[in-house]
DNA sequence: CGTGTCTTTGAAGCGAGTCAATCAGGGTGG
DNA sequence: CCACCCTGATTGACTCGCTTCAAAGACACG
């Protein structure tokens, strides 16, 4: 066994508290190691998979940043999520044995490949894994419902505030500063995710800067007034 | 064993081709029967569960029609789906051991109660069930992504067309006429689902009627020109 | 037959989209 | 090392689709 393969094992991965094995004990973790077949490198701009590709494996993001997007027959497309370290890609593909969205790396990335058939068989004899996997799928459903709420009933400022708060929370959980971040995606990608045009995203960033809520320098964002962002979400009756 | 309990068994349920046991053989079906604990009746307007309720069971709709809706802290709320016979309710609750949305019956309904712990243990020794359950969760994710596409990039007419096409397809799969239907939900609920105000929904229905695409009499809808509905989705370049 | 809920329709206003021009960086090649 | 180019970001002016506010109509139910 080669040394760099040891490194990739779940049992020694620093993401184990965020990824599939949340809450696992030491013994559980070593059982998981059998599951992760290999690492895979994806360069910025490249696709990990495309819609229509046959489904073999799920992928856990180790490093880097992804977007997933679906597209309709008439060429419309929609960013459905942004994934960072510890998050799973490919859950949509189980339903039809084919991927239903594209997963594109927004920066150079590394993923762990998890063959789905092995995940199924291992989780049959390993209750914690089964439970953990179900929770992750369910969490994705809950997340999607939150996005539906956002897209269905929020105004531009509220959408961007919700987006930034979500991003900073997830970054904070990974040990990054919750007040200073670098966006990995373009204004257009943010807009697609939030159901806005890129100009509206840009204008809203500028508005936040004027109001002293953010400092915006291209993709570098500093949160100056976290309460103001929260306030945008907790009081729709602000008008 | 009482006669009416025999009737509720998956092995003799006429929904078995739409529900959890899709593609199961005779033997598989009888193994499933152990899973469904009981039936439950929900009256029109009542909740099957509320957001925050502790999670015990999933529910399969036997008869009737439900809506699920999430709400944010500030009282905004969003219909996240409409469920009919054979569809599962409660998948969102697995992630946090609590329901995250309300499930409200839009007409008198009957559901099968599926204790989640039993579903987990049975699916550990029963590959087909495990696989089927995973597919159902994954399908929910794919559906949500479709709704996100709708909410993020479609205009009012396109949203309503997509909604109606989806509804008629699901009704057709259950043996109902694909051209004539009775809406179980109000304009406001449709609007909430589609990210529109109820007046806009009403106006769009009227527009479709003027154009000869639909015949609309309150909640009674007849589809006159199916192609026109499809055309609204397949050519955004119609302008 | 009245009452409340849901639906329809109109008129006016506004938020976000569209179109277009300019600006800022990052990378590349001379 | 710098000028250039290309992509992405910003900003402005105008337009349009949807929302808002308001009133009237239709239906279901007691």
pLDDT in the model for residue A73: 86
Tokens of B97: 């051991």
Q: Is B8 found in the same domain as B98? A: yes
pLDDT in the model for residue B235: 64
How many A/B residue pairs have CB atoms within 8 Å? Answer: 162
Residue (of B217, B204, B192) closest to B67 by Cα position: B192
Length of chain B: 239
- The gap between B218 CA and C2 C1' (Å) is 22
pLDDT in the model for residue B74: 85
Distances (CA, A) of B156 to A169, B186, B188, B190, B205: 33, 17, 14, 12, 10
Q: What is the pLDDT of residues B95-113, one digit of tens each?
A: 999 999 999 999 999 999 9
Point out the residue among B80, B138, B234 whose CB comes nearest to the CB of A91: B138
Helix (H, G, I), strand (E, B) or coil at A31: helix
| B65 pLDDT more than 90 | yes
Q: Is B16 found in the same domain as B101? A: yes
Tokens of B51: 């957001």
Q: Is A165 found in the same domain as A101? A: no
Distance CA A5, CA A19 (A): 18
Q: How many structural domains is chain B composed of?
A: 2
Point out the residue among B137, B194, B237 whose CB comes nearest to the CB of A137: B137
Helix (H, G, I), strand (E, B) or coil at B5: helix
Q: Is A62 found in the same domain as A9? A: yes
Of A60-64, A211-215, A234-238, B187-191, which gets the smallest average pLDDT? A234-238
Terminal Cα-to-Cα distance of chain A (whole angstroms): 63
Q: Is A17 found in the same domain as A114? A: yes
* Host domain of residue B169: 154-238
Judge whether A20 lies within some domain: yes
Distance CA B204, CA B168 (A): 18
Q: Between β-strands B220-223 and B214-217, what pairing exists: parallel, antiparallel or unpaired?
A: antiparallel
Residues 201-230 of B with CB within 7 A of strand C? 201-203, 205-206, 216, 218-219
Residues of B in contact with A70 (CB under 8 A): 145-146, 148-149
pLDDT in the model for residue A6: 43
Q: Between β-strands B57-71 and B102-115, what pairing exists: parallel, antiparallel or unpaired?
A: antiparallel
Residues of B in contact with A55 (CB under 8 A): none
Q: Which residue of A has its CA nearest to B100?
A: A142
| A152 CA: distance to closest CA in chain B (Å) | 4
Point out the residue among A100, A124, A134 whose CB comes nearest to the CB of B94: A134
Judge whether B139 lies within some domain: no
Q: What is the pLDDT of residues A195-212, one digit of tens each?
A: 999 999 999 999 999 999
Residues of A in contact with B155 (CB under 8 A): none
Band (A235; pLDDT cuts 50, 70, 90): low
Length of chain A: 239
Residue (of B104, B110, B14) closest to B62 by Cα position: B110
Q: What is the pLDDT of residues A12-51, one digit of tens each?
A: 888 888 899 998 988 889 888 888 878 999 999 999 999 9
B155 nearest nt, CA–C1' = D17
Tokens of B57: 């069971």
Q: What number of H helices and E strands is found in chain B?
A: 8, 9
Distance CA A131, CA A134 (A): 5
Q: Is B8 found in the same domain as B113? A: yes
Residues of A in contact with B71 (CB under 8 A): 149
Q: What is the pLDDT of residues A160-184, one digit of tens each?
A: 999 999 999 999 999 999 999 999 9
Q: The domain spanning residue A32 has which CATH number?
A: 2.60.120.10
Chain-wide mean pLDDT for chain B? 92
| B49 pLDDT more than 90 | yes
A67 sits in which H/E element: strand A57-71
| B61, B89 contact by CB (below 8 A) | yes
Global pTM value: 0.95
| A109 CA: distance to closest CA in chain B (Å) | 24
Q: Is B121 found in the same domain as B229? A: no
Distances (CA, A) of B62 to A201, B53, B67: 44, 22, 14
């Amino acid at each position: 066994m080669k040394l760099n393969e040891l490194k990739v094992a779940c049992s020694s991965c620093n993401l184990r508290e965020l990824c599939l094995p949340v809450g696992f004990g030491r013994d559980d973790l070593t059982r998981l190691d059998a599951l992760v077949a290999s690492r895979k490198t994806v360069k910025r701009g490249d696709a990990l998979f495309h819609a229509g590709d046959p489904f073999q494996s799920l992928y856990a993001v180790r490093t880097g940043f992804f977007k997933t997007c679906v597209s309709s027959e008439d060429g419309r497309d929609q960013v459905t999520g942004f994934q960072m370290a510890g998050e799973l890609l490919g859950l949509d593909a189980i339903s039809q044995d084919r991927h239903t969205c594209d997963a594109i790396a927004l920066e150079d990335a590394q993923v762990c490949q998890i063959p789905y058939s092995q995940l199924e068989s291992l989780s049959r004899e390993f209750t914690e894994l089964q439970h953990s996997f179900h929770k992750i799928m369910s969490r994705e459903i809950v997340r999607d419902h939150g996005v539906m709420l956002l897209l269905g009933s929020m105004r531009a400022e509220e959408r961007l505030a919700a987006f930034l708060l979500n991003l900073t929370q997830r970054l904070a959980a990974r040990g990054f500063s919750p007040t200073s971040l670098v966006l990995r995606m373009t204004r257009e990608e943010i807009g697609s995710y939030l159901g806005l045009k890129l100009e509206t995203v840009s204008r809203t960033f500028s508005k936040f800067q004027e109001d002293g809520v953010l400092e915006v320098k291209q993709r570098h964002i500093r949160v100056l007034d976290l309460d103001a962002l929260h306030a945008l979400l907790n009081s729709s009756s602000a008008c």
